[in-house]
Amino acid sequence: MSAPTTAKQYEVYYSGRVQGVGFRANARHISRRYVVTGFVRNLPDGRVHLLAEGEKEHVEQFLADIADSMAGNITAAHQSTAPASGKYVAFSIA
């Protein structure tokens, strides 16, 4: 499956009190409002890794909604972008 040429991939590493607070389930729930694919997972160092692909506007609003809903838990979010890979078919908890 190939991604549309306008689709982007956003990769975000969240720090703070982001594990054990429902972060992944919240991200999955919010993803249902948008046309996004990818995953969210906990990392051994206490961070959360999120990768989302889709149209820029969809992914940016998705990430903004996550930031708003988890604002009291996130102390840092390091984000990078790239062209979408097109290899994800849904957004899931990994």
pLDDT per residue over 7-38, tens digit each? 999 999 999 999 999 999 999 999 999 999 99
pLDDT band at residue 89 using 50, 70 and 90 as cut-offs = very high
pLDDT per residue over 34-83, tens digit each? 999 999 999 999 999 999 999 999 999 999 999 999 999 999 999 999 99
Q: Is the pLDDT of residue 6 over 70?
A: yes
Which entry of 17, 26, 42, 47 is annotated as an active-site residue? 42
Mean pLDDT of the chain: 95
80 contacts: CB under 8 Å, gap ≥ 6? 10, 11
Which entry of 24, 32, 41, 47 is annotated as an active-site residue? 24
Region of residue 21 (phi > 0: left; psi between -120 and 50: alpha; otherwise: beta): alpha
| pLDDT above 90 as % of the chain | 94
pTM: 0.92
Whether 42 is catalytic: yes
- Domains in the chain, start-ordered, CATH in brackets? 9-93 (3.30.70.100)
Going by their DSSP bridges, the two strands 74-83 and 48-55 should be labelled as unpaired
